[in-house]
Structures are given as C-alpha cells and as structure tokens.
Chain A
Amino acid sequence: MTTFAGLWFIGVILPVLGVVVVSLLRMTAEGGDPALTLDAYREILLTGRWEVTARTIRIAATVTLILLVISFPFALWLAKGLRSTTIKLVIWTLLTAPFFLSDTARVIVWRPVLGLMGPINSGLMTLGFIERPLPWLLFSESSVHFGLLGPFLPNMIWPIFLSMTLIDDDLLEASKDIGASPLQTLWYVIVPLSLPGITAGIVFTFVPILGDDVVAKVLGGQRVLMLGGAMLDLINALNYAVAAAMSTLILVIIAGLQLILVMVLRTVGGNGSLVQGLKR
C-alpha cells in the first residue's frame, strides 16, 4: 500500500506540482539555463487571455448557481420526502449513470437543435413569436450555459443528497415539536447541516466546469473560448509556459475552494462526515 501511495505521488501529484515550477521558468528553445520569471503570468494578464479566464470563471459560477437552485430542493425531496424505495433506486441509478457516459455524444446533439434552422427557431417562427431566427441560440454564451447544465447536474445533486441523508429524522421532528414552521426548520436545521454537502457540490461542479472543453467547443464555437480550449490551443502552439501558468491558476482556485470546504466542514463538525457519507 505504501509502495502504491509512493508511486501515485510520483506519477500523479508530482506532475501537478512540477507544472507550477514550469510556469515560473523561462525556457528557451535552445535549451539554455532556465531562469525564474513571471512572464507567463504577465502574458495571461496582458494579452486577451485574461478575458478567457474571467469569462470561464463567470460562466462556471453562473452555471453552478443555477444547478444549486435545481439540486437543493430535489435532493431534499429525495433524501427526506420520498418514501418509495423503488422510485428512489431508479432515480439513484438515473443520477449515477451519466458519470459513465460520453459527454461528446450528449453535447453534439444540441447543435442542430439550437441552430438557425433548428426546431426551436423554426417552431417559434411558425408560432409567430419571432420573424427571424434567433442568432444567439447557438455559438453564444447562452448556449454554453445551457449545454453545461445537464452534464454537471449529478455532481451537484450527489453531495447535497448524501449530506441530507445524514441528517437525523429526529432532529426534524424535534424542530417541529418545539413549534418551528417548515421554513424555519429548513433555514435553521436543514441548511446548516447540509452545508458540507452544498459546499462539496459547489466544488464538484465549479471546478470541472472550469476545465470543460467539450461544451464550449461544440456549442460556443470560436466566439466563446473557455480555459479548456485555450489550454489546448496553447499546447498545440508549443506555448508550454503559459499553459502551465493557466493550469497553476486553476490549481490555486481549487486549493482556495478546498480550503473553504475544509473550513465549512470544521465549523459544522467532523471532517470525516463526508467520508462517512460516501460509505453509505
């Protein structure tokens, strides 16, 4: 086991840390002595790449928020409202299966649907709501937002659901018995106790969306470049230092979010609760 942990560290963790170093080096094509520099970061900030980073963070944040709004009530109902085990099992399966399905297949299908001559545009035109097809349906930020919702929904629902199943039913009963209204119970009992799950859900959706390259490429076209696509372009252009800097930037964001997650877990009590939740 220790051997494996060591191998994992060398093979997986070391590359991630190594890239941080690479992002700080100036590497010349001739080989030469690498020198410490912040050039790569300057390039991100000064050239249009900062815009890409900002756009990616904005899109990821919006989509994460929408997913939270959809997921919280649904997860609560799944964990506490739904009585039938059969339906529960079916929904569990439906929510787990997407982790193992191809993103590309699910995303390419939106393109003709949202396109200029697609069913949405032509339907709206037949109904007389619009005279010309809506150009912003495809290859725009709205289509990217829309396309990101489906693939990342399970990432949000699962952690929230798990943390809610850990809430003792007796607590909800007690809250009701001492005269709390359902809304008070929701705000003072359920929300604080499911906070670890909510935070984990935000991390598990926000971070992968930051790195998504399929949806933005297929539904955003050239107009909505996101970090994932930008990094691919950089690697293809052999601009490793800037790609490394972008990767480091994402790592910093992840570390920041992780820190928040750990802090939330600590205030609620018990770092192990999430692990326990996974064991269920």
Chain B
Amino acid sequence: MTASEQLRAAVERERMILRWSTAVAVILGCVGIILIYGPIVWLALMSISEQPLTGKPGPFTTIWYVKLFTDMRWFDPLMVSLAIASTVSVLCMFTAAAIGRVLPHVGAVGLVILSMILIVLFMPGVMLGVDFIIFYRILLGIRTGVWSLILAHFVWAFPFALLSVIIVASRFDTRLLEVARDLGAGRWRCFRSIELPLLLPGILSAGFFGFLLSLNELPRSIFLRGGITTLPLFEWAEAASHSTMVPLIYGLSTLITLGSLVLTVLALSLLFKRETA
C-alpha cells in the first residue's frame, strides 16, 4: 500500500467515525426530545379521546372539554393561581431589574450575592418547602397562607428572573450612561431613556418566567399552602384521588401546558431577539 492510499484509508475511517457518532448523537437527542414532549403530545391526544383512563387513544371526541366548562370546580383554583402568579411576576420584574442592573458591574461582591441567590437552584423544592414551614410556621409561629405561597414562589422564580436580566445587563455598555450624563441628563432621565429601554427585554422575560414558574409550582406549595388551593395543588389532589375529575384534568392540563408553551416561546424570543436579528 502506498503512502497516499494509507492516508486516504485513514481519512475515510475518520469520516466514518464522525458520521456514526453524529448519527448516535442525533438519535439520542431525538430520544431525549421524545421523552420530554411525548407525554405532552400524548396528554393532548388523550384529552380528546373518549376513554382516556384506558391509555388508548380514540375514538376522538370533545366531550371532556365540554364537561370541563360545565363542571367549573377548577375555576377558583385557577383564579387563585393567576393572582399569585401575577403578584410573583410583578415582584420578579421589579426586584430583578433593580438587582440585575447593578450586579454585573460591582465585581466580587456581586459574585458572592449572585451565588447566594443561585444556590436556591440547587435545593430540591421539597427541601425548601420543609425548611420554610419549619422556620416560619414552627419556629416563628406565623400561620401559612397566601404570603408564604408568594414567598416560596418568588424565591423559586427569582434566580431565573435575575439571570434573564443579567444576560441583558452584562451586554449593556455602561459608557452610554456616561455619555448621557456628560450631555446633562439627570439620573432619572438616564434610567428612563437609556437603561430601561435596553434592559426591557430582560425585565419582561423576568416577568414571564416569574409568572410561569409560579403558575406551575407544586413541591413547595404542598407544604406552604395554608388551606389555599392553587391550580397545581388541585390537579395534584384530583389526579391522586382517582376521582371522576381525572379525565377533565387531562383537558385542563393540556390547555395550561399549551398556554405556558406559547408564553415561554414569547419570552425566549424577547430575550434573544438581538442575537437572532
């Protein structure tokens, strides 16, 4: 075999390895995506099936959706969830904006504070729920209620909200503010005319994420509900109880999931608009 033939064989072999590894990666990726989205598609399919509890799709019908809007027991929990989610969303927007706009520009202190906030992402929800109820209810003796739900949801959502503001804020050129100041703009004017518009995508997605994370939060709520029923708590109780409500839960979950999906895509496109443009 000549040297050039050997080289060609080696190159050929390398290409084979690359091709095969790409195939493996793509197949694994498909398996992953199916693992995530299979259940959602199946949920939607079952919600329009006549007998969803048998686990077999079809014959298709809208009867469960009709029933869903005649049996409105889910309405109050939905309203409670929406109210809490909106509150958490607004809280997230304001605090994430206030903290996120300075945090990337203060150096080491910022890193310490950031890690103190992000550490919550490492804590399982159940653990935080237990810690909060023992601390606030048992040690401090405060009755749980709406406030504890809002607090727990806020603590859960805030790291995400903060990150989305920081993503935008760290790309922010602080020289713009210096220029504005040199041109005679006051502090408020600087913030309103320059900082706010530039940070707005991050702040809005902070609001979206806060809303969605609160709306779908379950593990912390189980501990801190204090007699209040949010929508996930309602779904959870109904799904666990084998009640007649279960087929309706499929329809309800499908609607909520689709709504959340649309909101997420909106928030993401807002957050990364500048990169794709």
Q: Which residues of A line the B interface, CB within 8 A? A: 1, 4-5, 8-9, 11-16, 18-19, 22, 69-71, 73-74, 76-78, 81, 85, 89, 91-110, 112-115, 117-119, 122, 149-151, 153-154, 157, 181-183, 203-204, 207-208, 210-214, 217-218, 227-228, 231-232, 235, 240, 243-244, 246-247, 250-251, 254, 258, 272, 275, 278-279
Can you name 20 extra interface pairs (CB under 8 A) apart from A102-B260, A106-B43? A4-B95, A11-B151, A15-B135, A15-B136, A70-B28, A70-B31, A74-B29, A74-B32, A93-B268, A100-B263, A102-B235, A104-B235, A106-B40, A118-B55, A204-B122, A207-B122, A217-B240, A247-B131, A272-B111, A279-B170
Q: Which 8 A-B pairs have the closest CB atoms?
A: A211-B124, A112-B55, A15-B135, A105-B253, A77-B25, A118-B55, A73-B25, A102-B216
- Shortest CB distance A195–B (Å): 18
Q: Are B127 and A81 in contact (CB under 8 A)?
A: no
Residue of B nearest to A110 (CB): B39
Chain A residues lying within 8 Å of B219, measured Cβ to Cβ, are 211-214, 228
Task: Give 1 or 0 for each of B76-104: 1 = CB within 8 Å of chain A CB.
Answer: 00000000000000000001001100110
Given A1-B99, A5-B113: A109 in contact with B268 (beta carbons within 8 A): no
**B42 in the interface (beta carbon within 8 A):** yes
Chain B residues lying within 8 Å of A106, measured Cβ to Cβ, are 39-40, 43, 257
Q: Are A94 and B216 in contact (CB under 8 A)?
A: no
B151-192 contacts to A, CB under 8 A, are: 151, 155, 160, 163, 166-167, 170
**B123 in the interface (beta carbon within 8 A):** yes
Q: Are A150 and B35 in contact (CB under 8 A)?
A: yes
Residue of A nearest to B56 (CB): A119
**B1 in the interface (beta carbon within 8 A):** no
27 contacts between A and B (CB under 8 A): A1-B106, A15-B134, A85-B276, A92-B268, A96-B268, A100-B263, A101-B257, A102-B232, A102-B256, A105-B256, A108-B253, A109-B46, A117-B54, A118-B56, A149-B35, A182-B18, A207-B122, A207-B124, A212-B126, A213-B222, A231-B127, A243-B134, A246-B130, A247-B127, A247-B130, A251-B127, A278-B163
Q: Which residues of B line the A interface, CB within 8 A? A: 14, 17-18, 21-22, 24-26, 28-29, 31-33, 35-40, 42-43, 46, 52-56, 95, 98-99, 102-103, 106, 111, 113-114, 116-117, 119-128, 130-136, 138-139, 151, 155, 160, 163, 166-167, 170, 209, 212-213, 216, 218-219, 222-223, 232, 235-236, 239-240, 246, 249-250, 253-254, 256-257, 260-261, 263-265, 268, 276
Given A1-B113, A153-B36: A19 in contact with B124 (beta carbons within 8 A): no
Q: Are A105 and B134 in contact (CB under 8 A)?
A: no
- Shortest CB distance A69–B (Å): 8
Chain A residues lying within 8 Å of B254, measured Cβ to Cβ, are 105
Residue of B nearest to A97 (CB): B264
